[in-house]
């Protein structure tokens, strides 16, 4: 059953492409007022055409000051999806400060910053809320080249728990969704080597990667009252990979 979010306002980061775009569209279709945040304005223009009424915000979430300026006065938000992320791959031994800082700024620091802005508003209004952070199954397992990326996703696991701990008394739930490969632009890049992709696929008990829709459905579940007693937790959307 699709949830009904009528009367609620949702903010989705990384709403221009991939999982974030389909999440914004699903929330719009479920009756929510949607604030779509991303970096490329053309994506927001096309999204606003598809979903009239969506509020576009164009900002680089890796830039703390720009994010504060763009979102500091965003107003009431009931549902937050921290989805924006970058997968910048480097072997451990060649890892650079630039890639490390950029990855942590977008994948982790922005989650803290945007959640702070939104949670403060929820607390001030005295309303319940739900926050979903998009992590990854590589919060738990890794592959060569993913040192920095999987470290950001591991950090999201603890950030999710820490936020759940402190925001729980305010009736704000915080959970994560942890997908395996999803063949978005990012997923295609990460699994571009056909030999690696084939080997990886074989290790999934369901012999498939995840579909965007599977991830979106888990996000909607965690945003909705159907998961009213779930917080500090995560849903694996991994075609069974971690069982293998
Ligand atoms: P995509 O690369 O397809 O889309 C990411 C979206 O986030 C784009 O709209 C992008 O905008 C936006 N974004 C990236 N950086 C910033 C930034 N600094 N400021 C604002 N917006 C930004 O990725 P996916 O949809 O595949 O991934 C979404 C989330 O899911 C990510 O957190 C990712 O780590 C996670 N994930 C993805 C998996 C996969 O296989 N695809 C597997 C597991 C987790 P722009 O293009 O303009 O930069």
**pLDDT digits (tens), the chain, 244 positions:** 789 999 999 999 999 999 999 999 999 999 999 999 999 999 999 999 999 999 999 999 999 999 999 999 999 999 999 999 999 999 999 999 999 999 999 999 999 999 999 999 999 999 999 999 999 999 999 999 999 999 999 999 999 999 999 999 999 999 999 999 999 999 999 899 999 999 999 999 999 999 999 999 999 999 999 999 999 999 999 999 999 9
Index of the ligand 1 atom closest to the CA of residue 209: 40
Check residue 2 and give its pLDDT. 81
Query: 27: Cβ below 6 Å to ligand 1?
Result: no
C-alpha of residue 140 to centroid of ligand 1, in Å: 19
Check residue 128 and give its pLDDT. 98
Query: 156: Cβ below 6 Å to ligand 1?
Result: no
Interface ipTM: 0.99
Index of the ligand 1 atom closest to the CA of residue 138: 43
What does residue 209 show for φ and ψ, rounded to 5 degrees?
A: -80, -175
| Among the listed residues 213, 201, 214, 212, the one whose alpha carbon sits nearest the alpha carbon of residue 241 | 201
Query: 19: Cβ below 6 Å to ligand 1?
Result: yes
Helical ranges in the chain per DSSP H: 18-29, 41-50, 64-71, 97-104, 110-125, 147-167, 185-190, 194-202, 212-223
Residues marked active site are found at: 149
């Amino acid at each position: 059953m699709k949830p009904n979010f009528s009367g609620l306002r949702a903010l989705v980061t990384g709403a221009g492409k991939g999982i974030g775009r389909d999440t914004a569209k699903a929330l719009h279709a479920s009756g929510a007022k949607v604030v779509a945040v991303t970096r490329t304005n053309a994506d927001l223009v096309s999204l606003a055409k598809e979903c009239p009424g969506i509020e576009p915000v164009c900002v680089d979430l890796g830039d703390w000051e720009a994010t504060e300026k763009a979102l500091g006065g965003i107003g009431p938000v009931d549902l937050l999806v921290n989805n924006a992320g970058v997968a910048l791959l480097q072997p451990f031994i060649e890892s650079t400060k630039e890639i490390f800082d950029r990855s942590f700024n977008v994948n982790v620091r922005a989650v803290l910053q945007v959640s702070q802005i939104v949670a403060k508003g929820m607390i001030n209004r005295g309303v319940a809320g739900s926050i979903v952070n998009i992590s990854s199954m590589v919060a738990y397992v890794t592959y060569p080249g993913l040192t920095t990326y999987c470290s950001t996703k591991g950090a999201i696991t603890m950030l999710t728990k820490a936020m759940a701990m402190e925001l729980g008394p305010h009736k704000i739930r915080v959970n994560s969704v942890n997908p395996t490969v999803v063949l978005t632009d990012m997923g295609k890049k990460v699994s571009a080597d056909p030999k690696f992709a084939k080997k990886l696929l074989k290790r999934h008990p369901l012999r498939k990667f995840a579909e965007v829709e599977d991830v979106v459905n888990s996000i909607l579940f965690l945003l909705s009252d159907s998961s009213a007693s779930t917080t500090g937790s995560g849903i694996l959307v991994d075609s069974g990979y971690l069982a293998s």
